[in-house]
Structure 1
Amino acid sequence: MAPALGWLFLGLSVLSTTVTSAKVCGRPPVPDGVDASSLKRVFEVGEEVSLSCGQGFVTSAATSSRITCTATGEWTESNLACAPKMCPIPKSLQPFALGRTEAPFRSVLNYTCDDGYVLLGANESRCLHNGTWSHLPPLCKAVTCPLPKPPREGRVIPDRAVTGTTTIYGQGWTYECNPPKAPSFERGSCKADGTATEPPICQEVSCSIPTNIPNGVITFAVMRQHGYKEKVKYACNEHYTLEGDAEIQCQNTGNWSSKPICRAPCTVGIKRGRIFYNTKKIWIEDLKPNRVLHGEHVVFYCKNEAEKCGYPVASTCNDGNLPLPECFVEPGKVEYNLKAKSLPSEIRMCAASTARPTSSARLS
């Protein structure tokens, strides 16, 4: 009996070896864009598969699309490459596309409108497999508001002529009251939510007796309290420069609008040297009177020691202060009187590349 049992074990061993030696291939890996919808999960050795680009993709080059399951359980290689189809970006959107004129398959355009505008159409569009967009670009239509209501004792003055019974977002208007009353606020508009500003209240308003300004005077005014929109005019003392509006107005808040400022003239703070001022090159002792108005420019001359040449540096009078350029060196008495031709203002002027402009100044 023992030899028969031995043959039985041997037969089972041979049978087992035959079954486990068979190989199969799993589902082949495919690059993006290849159609994998018809691929099985398991393939026998020797089976062939013909790959193709899926919907929305095109073959980007001449390629081999057939692969075979080998005895090692691996697939032969394929160099099939699939590129997405492109959708042309609508011309109205190209300024926002950073130079691109196309978008690939599956791209999504999201649309929104600015505040005060309503979107008409789809707020999203997708690039389809056939190279077209799923929806046309929408329109942004301005919100409309009903016509504004006037105040009880006044009227509405629109910025632009109004026709019909509505206005559109952004349109504005001014409220006026019957004199001498003033509106609690002066401006209204059609708002983003489709409502018009509610009308103001008309009320009595007065501004205090106007006062003078430093280095200036009131040129036209009665010294009393003033009503809404009444005006007062100012002027500056001689040689002072007026900055701001010469006229101020009594506002609906009971306050005056901003008063102007009188800016002081400057003195050129050197005893010796030559300057360029008011289109002329002059010695400082010939500047009579020694006065430069606020905002005017004075050019001083500096010296480039390495190149032995002079160059101009400008300074501006600012409310009584005229800074001297850091590079400016005032000459001594002997140099100024006996060697005037060697001063920076009198020698050869530097070329622009050899000058040394200064970015700061020191006070005189």
Structure 2
Amino acid sequence: LQLELLLLSFCHVLVVTEVQTKNEMCGRPPITDGIDESTLKRVYEVGEEVTLTCELGYLPSTATPRRIACSATGQWTNSDLTCSPKMCQIPRPLQALAMGRTEVPFKSVLNYTCDDGYVLQGANESRCLHDGTWSHPPPLCKAVSCALPKPPRDGKIVHDKTITGSTTMYGQGWTYECNPPKAPSYERGYCMADGNATEPPVCRDVSCSIPAGIPNGFITFAIMREHGYKEKVKYGCNEHYVLDGNAEIECQNTGNWSAKPICRAPCSVGIKRGRIFYNAKKLWIADLKPNRVLHGEIVVFYCLNRAEKCGYPVASTCNDGTLPIPECFEEPGKVEYTLRPKTLPSEIRMCAASPERPTSPTRTA
């Protein structure tokens, strides 16, 4: 019995000793971003101290080094050290692209590219270094240049800008012209993004068919025949119709005419009773003689604000024979129009402001 007790006591001592040994160690200290961990060990004994410092490229939150110690509980004492990355100023020409930011933290990378037609001269990326400077300065984007274009056979080139030297820059253009009566297969050329100039066109004979008339209009002083490249024909409109588009059309290098104009129709004001504002005058509809407004002209109708008991104007525009009537306009009855005209929206007090609404609904007359 005595032997057994001794053995149990010995085992107890072993257990206690094992626990004590286990508690007399600390693992690697907990660290935050930017703290230098290159000199830290994996295991420390109770009482050992460690001085925490910031990595290269980070700024410490305290001026003096911070030491922490491994305590008897196997825990490290607290440290208030934080490490903030150093900042690099974004180059001023690029700040407009940085959405309000003027600086970026250590290790940030700027990647540079150039628009089409420009060649990058310098490094295509730059890194924010530990000392707050950039590894490379911003590069330059130099416009691609092209050798001067060749003129077409039987023709010439007219440059948009005066050319000096033997090259032209990306994006610059020119017009090809052929000796009359020939026309170029295409008229425009450019210095392209790949550094090549447009190949010269072919000069060829081109003619356009006899020009066609237009509805409600006519051709002025033209001989009805085929026309050559660059020849022109002029149109006019019948009385009270408004010409929409270029009055002249031109025979193009494709053998087709440029777009013909359109003669837009006048409108009639589709109410029998009421007052309107037209051509800088306030008119009763019966006094609009003839009842006609031209395409593009504006007619103002008067609507009633029932809540405020006042009138307000709503404008409508004649569009090729159609003049929409505002939805808010109410045509007065015959008796009201004849006997009580002073009560109409056009005659009573005008509202201080028109009622708020997203749009002015209209109905077609």
TM-score range, shorter chain: over 0.9
Cα 1:358–1:5 change in 2 (3 A) is closer
Identical pairs, percent: 72
The Cα of 1:18 is off from its aligned counterpart by 2.6
**2:154 counterpart residue number:** 153
2:286 corresponds to 1:319? no
**2:271 counterpart residue number:** 270
Question: Deviations 1:219-271 (Å, cap 9, x if unpaired)?
Answer: 13111000000000001111101010000000000000000000000001111
CA contact (8 A) 1:326 1:358 kept: no
Structure 1 range deviating more: 303-312 or 19-28: 19-28
CA distance in 2, matches of 1:11, 1:357: 94
CA contact (8 A) 1:63 1:80 kept: no
Structure 1 range deviating more: 338-347 or 279-288: 279-288
CA contact (8 A) 1:313 1:358 kept: no
- What is the identity, as a one-letter code, of the residue corresponding to 2:329? F
CA contact (8 A) 1:48 1:67 kept: yes
Report matched runs for 1:271-286 at 5 Å. 271-286=272-287
The Cα of 1:20 is off from its aligned counterpart by 4.8
Structure 1 range deviating more: 98-107 or 226-235: 98-107
**1:18 counterpart residue number:** 17
Matched position secondary structure for 1:21: helix
CA contact (8 A) 1:311 1:355 kept: no
Aligned residues: 363
Report matched runs for 1:110-125 at 5 Å. 110-125=111-126
CA distance in 1, matches of 2:245, 2:260: 7
Cα 1:324–1:3 change in 2 (3 A) is closer
CA contact (8 A) 1:248 1:258 kept: yes
**2:251 counterpart residue number:** 250
CA contact (8 A) 1:304 1:356 kept: no
CA distance in 1, matches of 2:233, 2:154: 26
| TM-score after normalising by structure 1 | 0.95
Structure 1 range deviating more: 67-76 or 108-117: 67-76
Report matched runs for 1:1-364 at 5 Å. 14=13, 17-22=16-21, 23-60=24-61, 65-352=66-353, 354=355, 359-364=360-365
- What is the identity, as a one-letter code, of the residue corresponding to 1:25? C
Cα 1:361–1:16 change in 2 (3 A) is closer
CA distance in 1, matches of 2:96, 2:67: 44
CA distance in 2, matches of 1:262, 1:129: 73
CA distance in 2, matches of 1:7, 1:320: 120
Superposition RMSD in Å: 2.0
The Cα of 1:357 is off from its aligned counterpart by 7.9
Unaligned runs of 5+ in 1: none
- What is the identity, as a one-letter code, of the residue corresponding to 2:219? I
Matched position secondary structure for 2:32: coil
Cα 1:201–1:85 change in 2 (3 A) is same
CA contact (8 A) 2:51 2:65 kept: no
The Cα of 1:359 is off from its aligned counterpart by 2.4
Question: Deviations 1:150-196 (Å, cap 9, x if unpaired)?
Answer: 11111111111111111110010111111111010001100100111
CA contact (8 A) 1:63 1:81 kept: no
- What is the identity, as a one-letter code, of the residue corresponding to 1:216? G
The Cα of 1:60 is off from its aligned counterpart by 3.4
The Cα of 1:15 is off from its aligned counterpart by 5.2
